[in-house]
């Protein structure tokens, strides 16, 4: 009865696989897994339940997933050099909520980056934090908009005594001043939560700040942006065991029941890949982002934060207001097989969210398929040709991308 509809679903999936393999995928929050990681996705584990911890499940038949989850926690601790790891959240926002639910009560004050200042929606009233308190105070920013004003932030923390200080961003070009805020946070009893969703792979590859080593109490992240795994979340910490148990309960039963078991095996394989190749991969990501930013600037585009070297992460921010704004530009580039997203820039208000001035570019996925500095120069040429010369470059993009189909920094060639 539904044969044609099912065939259409299969056709759409095949079309997606083919199409995105022809594109320059520059969404800063996306990534591709290796062939071997993808091969263990969608296994029998997709049908199963495993509430609780390995060896302490509420269901029978969990022996195999117990081994996977135990190994994943062990190697995550090794990769990030931490005492505790919670791998059950099914997304970065789910991980955020597991933490926020343990610390924030109605009326508590929380400090976070504003949305124009790069903060993620889960840190705002409309997101996870807003479920627990409405008292959310944005960090003061320096004139450039891409950094916290440390002196003003310290004074504000002393004055308002927040319960949580949430660092980390969605538009995330530069490290956060964790060390500079530790002393004042300790004095007022505030916990520092670092949302490393975008930069987890750079942290693992030792090419970005190490939040836990610098004094953050909790690191929350997703595992599919610069960290090249399946879509899940993780919580990492060196907190005392008693306080960590509160977060453990926030993950289960607080914010999840079963935790999508079929994505744990590919996350374990990805963790092995990052232990082996993470430093080389992350170093190339940062080189590529800086090269792309400089090339776009040379072409005459308004690349942000030039005075600070454009970026220290996988992201590049560009003001495209003179080309019609972020919505128009991202749509136009998408028609040319260059996929990126519009983004608010620090000088804008939330009222511009439908068509902000900026676009956000991420190089991590194209780095993982082998692109390096030369390809970043070529990418800048293609973007400029569309925006400044009105050219159609979709076929050129396909020809370029055809040479980069194989995932690097992996064990795909290992026997």
Give residue 113's pLDDT. 94
Residue 266's SS3 state is: helix
| In a domain? residue 237 | yes
Structure tokens at 287: 């080189």
pTM: 0.96
| In a domain? residue 151 | yes
Give residue 349's pLDDT. 81
Averaged pLDDT of the chain: 95
What residues have CB less than 8 Å from 119, skipping those under 6 apart?
112, 113, 138, 166, 169, 170
Give residue 354's pLDDT. 83
Kindly tell me if the per-residue pLDDT of 193 is higher than 90. yes
Nearest to 355 by CA among 380, 332, 336: 332
Kindly tell me if the per-residue pLDDT of 121 is higher than 90. no
Kindly tell me if the per-residue pLDDT of 285 is higher than 90. yes
Q: What are the tens digits of pLDDT across the range 123-132?
A: 888 888 988 9
Nearest to 62 by CA among 270, 300, 264: 264
For the packed helices 264-298 and 63-80, what is the interaxial angle rounded to 10 degrees?
40
Report how far apart, in Å, the C-alpha atoms of 351 and of each of 78, 115, 234 are: 44, 11, 32
Kindly tell me if the per-residue pLDDT of 352 is higher than 90. no
The pairing of strands 218-222 and 135-138 is unpaired
Give residue 125's pLDDT. 84
Give residue 312's pLDDT. 98
The pLDDT-based confidence of 122 (bands split at 50, 70, 90) is confident
Nearest to 372 by CA among 400, 333, 340: 400
Q: How many domains would you assign to the chain?
A: 1
Give residue 343's pLDDT. 95
Give residue 415's pLDDT. 63
Kindly tell me if the per-residue pLDDT of 378 is higher than 70. yes
Residue % of the chain over a pLDDT of 90:
90
Q: What is the CATH number of the domain that holds 133?
A: 3.40.640.10
**Residues β-bridged to residue 237:** 84, 218
Give residue 127's pLDDT. 84
Question: What is the C-alpha separation between 122 and 130, in angstroms, rounded?
Answer: 8
Give residue 137's pLDDT. 96
The pLDDT-based confidence of 97 (bands split at 50, 70, 90) is very high
Question: What is the C-alpha separation between 382 and 165, in angstroms, rounded?
Answer: 41
| In a domain? residue 191 | yes
Q: What is the DSSP string of 206-231?
A: TSS--HHHHT-SEEEEESSSSS-S-S
Q: Give the burial string for 253-268 (b: 16+ CB within 10 Å, else e).
A: ebbbeebbbbbbbbbb
**Are the C-beta atoms of 361 and 380 separated by less than 8 Å?**
no
| In a domain? residue 128 | yes
Kindly tell me if the per-residue pLDDT of 44 is higher than 90. yes
In degrees and rounded to multiples of 5, residue 298 shows phi and psi of -65, -30
Give residue 255's pLDDT. 84
**Are the C-beta atoms of 322 and 244 separated by less than 8 Å?**
no
| In a domain? residue 194 | yes
Question: What is the C-alpha separation between 381 and 386, in angstroms, rounded?
Answer: 9
**Residues β-bridged to residue 228:** none
Kindly tell me if the per-residue pLDDT of 374 is higher than 70. yes
- The reply to whether omega before 347 is within 30° of 0 (cis) is no
Q: What is the arithmetic mean of pLDDT over 274-285?
A: 98
| In a domain? residue 367 | no
State the residue for tokens 């009893």.
Answer: 189
**Residues β-bridged to residue 135:** 109
Kindly tell me if the per-residue pLDDT of 355 is higher than 90. no
| In a domain? residue 285 | no
Give residue 253's pLDDT. 87
Which domain, by its residues, includes 254? 38-269
State the residue for tokens 């949580």.
Answer: 164
Question: What is the C-alpha separation between 177 and 179, in angstroms, rounded?
Answer: 6
Kindly tell me if the per-residue pLDDT of 232 is higher than 70. yes
Report how far apart, in Å, the C-alpha atoms of 210 and of each of 213, 322, 355 are: 5, 37, 34
Among 156-170, 188-202, 339-353, the minimum mean pLDDT is found in 339-353
Among 66-70, 331-335, 352-356, the minimum mean pLDDT is found in 352-356
Among 174-183, 246-255, 327-336, 357-366, the minimum mean pLDDT is found in 246-255
Kindly tell me if the per-residue pLDDT of 350 is higher than 80. no
Q: What are the tens digits of pLDDT across the range 136-187?
A: 999 999 999 999 999 999 999 999 999 999 999 999 999 999 999 999 999 9
Give residue 114's pLDDT. 92
Give me the half-sphere count of Cα atoms (radius 13 Å) on the Cβ side of residue 25: 22
């Amino acid at each position: 009865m539904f044969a044609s509809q099912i065939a259409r679903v299969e056709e759409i999936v095949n079309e997606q696989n083919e199409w995105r393999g022809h594109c320059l995928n520059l969404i800063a929050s996306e990534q591709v897994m290796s062939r071997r990681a993808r091969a263990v996705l969608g296994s029998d584990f997709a049908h199963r339940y495993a509430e609780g911890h390995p060896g302490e499940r509420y269901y029978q038949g969990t022996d195999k997933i117990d081994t996977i989850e135990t190994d994943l926690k062990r190697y995550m601790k090794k990769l990030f050099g931490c005492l505790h790891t919670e791998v059950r959240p099914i997304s970065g926002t789910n991980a955020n909520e597991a933490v926020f639910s343990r610390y924030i009560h109605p009326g508590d004050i929380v400090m976070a980056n504003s949305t124009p200042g790069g903060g993620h929606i889960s840190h705002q009233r409309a997101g996870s934090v807003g479920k627990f308190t409405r008292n959310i105070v944005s960090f003061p920013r320096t004139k450039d908009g891409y950094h916290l004003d440390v002196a003003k932030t310290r004074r504000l923390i002393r004055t308002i005594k927040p319960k949580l200080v949430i660092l980390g961003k969605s538009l995330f070009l530069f490290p956060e001043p964790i060390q500079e805020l530790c002393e004042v946070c300790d004095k007022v009893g505030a916990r520092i939560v670092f949302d490393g969703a975008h930069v987890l792979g750079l942290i693992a590859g030792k090419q970005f700040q190490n939040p836990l080593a610098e004094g953050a109490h909790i690191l929350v992240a997703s595992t599919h942006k610069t960290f090249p795994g399946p879509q899940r979340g993780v919580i990492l910490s060196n907190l005392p065991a008693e306080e960590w148990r509160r977060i453990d309960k926030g993950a289960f039963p607080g914010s999840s029941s079963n935790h999508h078991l079929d994505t744990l095996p590919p996350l374990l394989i990805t963790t092995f890949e990052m232990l082996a190749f993470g430093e080389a991969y992350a170093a190339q990501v940062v080189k590529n982002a800086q090269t792309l930013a400089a090339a776009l600037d040379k072409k005459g585009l308004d690349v942000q934060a030039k005075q600070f070297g454009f970026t220290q992460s996988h992201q590049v921010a560009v003001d495209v207001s003179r080309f019609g704004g972020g919505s128009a530009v991202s749509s136009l580039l998408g028609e040319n097989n260059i996929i990126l997203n519009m983004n608010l820039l620090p000088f804008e208000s939330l009222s511009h969210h439908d068509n902000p001035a900026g676009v956000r570019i991420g190089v991590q996925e194209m780095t993982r398929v082998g692109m390096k500095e030369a390809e970043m120069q070529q990418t800048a040429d293609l973007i400029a040709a569309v925006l400044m010369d009105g050219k159609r470059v979709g076929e050129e993009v396909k020809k370029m991308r055809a040479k980069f189909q194989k995932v690097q920094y992996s064990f795909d060639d290992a026997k």
